[in-house]
Structure 1
Amino acid sequence: MSDTLRESLLVKLGQLQCHFTWGPQMDDVDLDKVKQKLQDSIIIGGKHQGVPHNQLAYINYRQGNCEEALRDLEEAERRLREIHGDGFERRSIVTHGNRAWLHYHMGQLSEAQSYLDKLEVTCSSLSQGPYITAMVPEVWGEKGWSSLSSRSQCYEEAKECFARALEEDPDNTEWNMGYATALYRLESISGIQENPEVSQSVRQLRRVLELDPGESVARVMLALRLQEFQLQAEANELVEEALRTSPDSPFVLRYAAKFYRMKQDVDKAIGLLKKALEFTPRSSFLHHQMGICYREKLMALRKNKESGDPGVTAVLIDHCKLHFGTAIQLEPSFILAQLDFAGICLMNGESDRAVKIYNNLQSLENVTPDKKQAIEIQLGVYELHHTKSESNAIRHFMEGLKIQHGTKYWERCYTNLMRIARRQIKRNPYNSRALGILGFLHREAGENSEAVECFEKALRFDRGNEEYLSALRELRPST
């Protein structure tokens, strides 16, 4: 094939909607981590998860495993024919696009052109634009699942994709479930406590159950969200029903385990997690959750000083380290597991080991905002309670506060800073630094009059401080 025809082929490939053109969403992503999760989802199965083989094929291509990628796409086609039957052509748009790209990269240009021809036939009656692409609900849905599997920064895009799919197919259970999942994850990251009447994820999960009362994963996800709003009776009923109808669903088991852990029934949570691990023993998520459960038992034991058997304590610490360590081994970039492992080391008197982990985490690049905030909050707590350095703790909490607003980690930074500032002012009412921190916190919370008052007080004891003057100019632009 001539260079001109090759370039023409590449132009057409660039117009496709598939993982090879959505590739940028996989930049700066731990491919091994996503790959393991996709492989687990294939093992687990599930009513609604898109076509994980498609995304798995793209990852294998990125890792240089083109033959394996081709097998993934063949399996994707087989599954689509098996599940969707008459709807196969519309469902295969993304898969055919991936195959065209893969054959192009493998130098099999005639095969690539063959799949472009198939797409032209399929899409010509579906699209007003190029006849080799069509933004039908099936394509929006597949892009939504792909975004959900990539990284947390893509959750907003996933939400928009499922919303677009629902515009044309509002009663489709899969797109409704995808939309609910995106909303659930976004709310989990934001940490903003809303009441259930205005929570978008609660409303959408109820919508899924209206369309499909047998959707057990939606049922237990809804239970978790209602638990946060202290609607315990309905939440209990939802979880029990989900476990009754889908006792062997690993997705149900993992969500139910979290539910019971939050309910302080840690032994039941551990039992459910052990059962889930039988299906996916290489799940870093499940091992991390096991570690958290054993840490809960450890904390409860330490609070009850009368039963603080050092032998039991040592066993629980070993369990925590085993599961957090396994999670890290399976997923070396698992930042939350590393933070939790460091926390256990501190509890066990292994400060040097914890500090080594913290130093490594601080040196990482391309860390997502929520994980960066998690690092800063734990470093602040470490400085506050272990090195007894309020100044260093303040620095970390302030850094965490600046990363992103309104998340659960933001709230923890805010609360710690407020507590430190008030404690310092109680010790010394003329502490300008503490007054300045209070002013900053009030400004962050939108309490401008209180912020002005604090900055003015701070300036009485630190005249000419440019930081406080600048803050006042922003808060009182007309003066």
Structure 2
Amino acid sequence: MSDQEKDLLKVKLDQLQCHFTWGPQKENIDLDDLQQRLEDTIQTNVKSRGRSYNQLAFVNCLQGNCEEAIQNLQEAEKILKENHEDEFEKRIIVTYGNRSWVNYHMGQLTETQSYLDKLERICQQFPDASRYTAMIPEVYGEKGWSLLKTAAQYYEDAKECFKKALEEDADNIEWNFDFATVLSRLETFSGTSESYKPPQSMKQLRRVLELDPDHAEAMVLLALKLQECNQTEEALELVEGALQKSPDLPHVIRYAAKFYRLKRDVGKAVDLLKKGLEITPNSTILHHQIGVCYRKKLLSLNKKPQSKRPSDPAFQQRAELIELCKYHFKKAFEPRPLTFIRAQLDYARICSLNGEYAEAEEMYNNLLQLEGLRPENRQEICADFGLFELREKKSESKAITHFLEGMKVNYNSKERKRCRDNLMTITERHLRRNGRDSKAHGVLGSMNQLDGKKREAIENFAKASELDPDNEEYLSALCELRLSIEADNDCPNKS
């Protein structure tokens, strides 16, 4: 095959709907962790095996294991034939797309074309399909699931996929549950539209249980939402029922453990999580949740008078809990350095609590180097790093820098508000001591500017410049703001 024919083949491949064209690529996926999670899902969740093998093939191909990827795709095809015989051609589109790509990466270009030919024949039966792919519910559903499985920055896209799938097949249990899951997760993220509404996921989870009253994962997820709304009696019944129906399903164990931890039954939560680790020993989520449980015990212990004598039982218990927290948080984030931000922040907080400032500072600096973070994650890193500099390192100037960096992320979240509130506390304290503090007025000017309050920003920068006339930063900010206001006045219809 000539280079021109190969390039033409690549153009065709780029038109496919499959894991190789859906966005997440090698640079922004924790591949080893995703591989482990997919293998765990294959082991423990029969319903998800076909799509898990499909995504695992993609991961293996990115890692250079193309022969294993072919085996994964053969398993996916076998499962689809066994479980979805009546709608096999609808379900196989993504698998054949992946197979085309893997063969292409292996240099098997004739095989690549043969799978493109298969896709072309399948797509002819769908009126709105393109030559090689059809955006039908089965494709939207698998795309949504793969994005949901990859990382938090893809949840919004996953939600839209499930909505599309349900538009044509409103009673599909699988997509209804996946839609409920992504809604539930987005509701926990500060700044998302879901976080400002009454939980939409509750209605969606009840819909799943209408379609399948024995859906244990839906039961425990609904229980957590009910717990948030203080409907504890129904929540407890759901958790107990789910554990009876699916006592060995890791997701059920994990959500049930969270329920008991929030119920302040930390011992029961730890017991459940340890049972989960027996089933999936490499689960990063379970390790993180165990760390959170031990931290809860540690913080409770810290409320009591502390002894500095190593022979004291309370001193020993505190030291043991700190090591347990660090161990489990580390087990959670080491396989997921790009995506498990919360576990890394939790580890840094424990280091800070234990006076291990160099390790905490290194963790914060590493986190700030990451790209492609959700905006509230970056804001949280800045807020935490700022408080660390303020409280532990006693560096107010560095703290201010980090809080302002958090505010620069233009995303309305509680983490941005946390950065702003800390800056206000600092500036108000300075101005109470000295109303002519130029730095305090400069910080207020920066905050006003980041909040879009240009005239207030000009007032504060003008005051700061009056008090510190040689400060080029204040003069530059003033000039920029005045030019911006002049431009706004020249364009009165500008939104």
Interval of TM-score (by shorter of Structure 1 and Structure 2): 0.7 to 0.9
- Residue number in structure 2 paired with 1:377: 383
CA distance in 1, matches of 2:227, 2:191: 14
Shift of 1:251: 0.3
TM-score by length of structure 1 reads 0.88
- Residue number in structure 2 paired with 1:265: 265
Question: Which region of structure 1 is more displaced relative to structure 2, 201-210 or 88-97?
Answer: 201-210
Count, aligned residues: 476
Shift of 1:468: 6.1
Q: Write the letter of the residue equivalent to 2:258.
A: K
Match of 1:321 among 317, 326, 340: 326
Q: Write the letter of the residue equivalent to 1:274.
A: K
- Residue number in structure 2 paired with 1:406: 412
Instruction: Please tell me whether the aligned partners of residues 41 and 48 of structure 2 are also in contact (alpha carbons under 8 angstroms).
Output: no
1:36-88 Cα shifts (integer Å, max 9, x gaps): 22122222215468701111101111111011001100111122122222122
* 1:194-213 correspondence runs (5 A): 198-213=198-213
Instruction: Please tell me whether the aligned partners of residues 219 and 239 of structure 2 are also in contact (alpha carbons under 8 angstroms).
Output: yes
Unaligned 5+ segments in structure 1 are none
Instruction: Please tell me whether the aligned partners of residues 216 and 246 of structure 1 are also in contact (alpha carbons under 8 angstroms).
Output: yes
Unaligned 5+ segments in structure 2 are 308-312, 491-495
Secondary structure of 1:64's counterpart equals: coil
> CA separation of 1:452/1:50 partners in 2, compared to 1, >3 Å: closer, same or farther?
farther
* 1:294-443 correspondence runs (5 A): 294-305=294-305, 309-333=314-338, 334-435=340-441, 437=443
- Residue number in structure 2 paired with 1:125: 125
Q: Write the letter of the residue equivalent to 2:386.
A: G
- Residue number in structure 1 paired with 2:175: 175
Instruction: Please tell me whether the aligned partners of residues 383 and 419 of structure 2 are also in contact (alpha carbons under 8 angstroms).
Output: yes
> CA separation of 1:269/1:98 partners in 2, compared to 1, >3 Å: closer, same or farther?
same
Shift of 1:26: 5.0
Question: Which region of structure 1 is more displaced relative to structure 2, 366-375 or 85-94?
Answer: 366-375
Structure 2 residue 55 is matched with structure 1 residue 55: yes
Q: Write the letter of the residue equivalent to 2:288.
A: H
Question: Which region of structure 1 is more displaced relative to structure 2, 313-322 or 60-69?
Answer: 313-322
Instruction: Please tell me whether the aligned partners of residues 13 and 100 of structure 1 are also in contact (alpha carbons under 8 angstroms).
Output: yes
* 1:93-172 correspondence runs (5 A): 93-172=93-172
Shift of 1:462: 4.2
1:79-118 Cα shifts (integer Å, max 9, x gaps): 2122222122211111111112222332333333332232
- Residue number in structure 2 paired with 1:280: 280
> CA separation of 1:127/1:8 partners in 2, compared to 1, >3 Å: closer, same or farther?
farther
Q: Write the letter of the residue equivalent to 1:32.
A: D
Instruction: Please tell me whether the aligned partners of residues 25 and 150 of structure 1 are also in contact (alpha carbons under 8 angstroms).
Output: no
Secondary structure of 2:188's counterpart equals: helix
1:199-248 Cα shifts (integer Å, max 9, x gaps): 33333223222322222212222332343344444433433332233222
CA distance in 2, matches of 1:453, 1:112: 62
* 1:26-45 correspondence runs (5 A): 27-45=27-45
CA distance in 2, matches of 1:17, 1:117: 15
Instruction: Please tell me whether the aligned partners of residues 335 and 371 of structure 1 are also in contact (alpha carbons under 8 angstroms).
Output: yes
Question: Which region of structure 1 is more displaced relative to structure 2, 185-194 or 159-168?
Answer: 185-194
Structure 2 residue 70 is matched with structure 1 residue 64: no
Give identity over the alignment, percent: 51
Question: Which region of structure 1 is more displaced relative to structure 2, 359-368 or 68-77?
Answer: 359-368
Shift of 1:443: 7.3
Shift of 1:122: 2.0
1:240-298 Cα shifts (integer Å, max 9, x gaps): 33223322221011122222223332222211111111111111221122112111101
* 1:217-236 correspondence runs (5 A): 217-236=217-236
TM-score by length of structure 2 reads 0.85
CA distance in 2, matches of 1:468, 1:223: 53
1:148-193 Cα shifts (integer Å, max 9, x gaps): 1223222111111111111111221212222222222222223569
> CA separation of 1:364/1:91 partners in 2, compared to 1, >3 Å: closer, same or farther?
closer
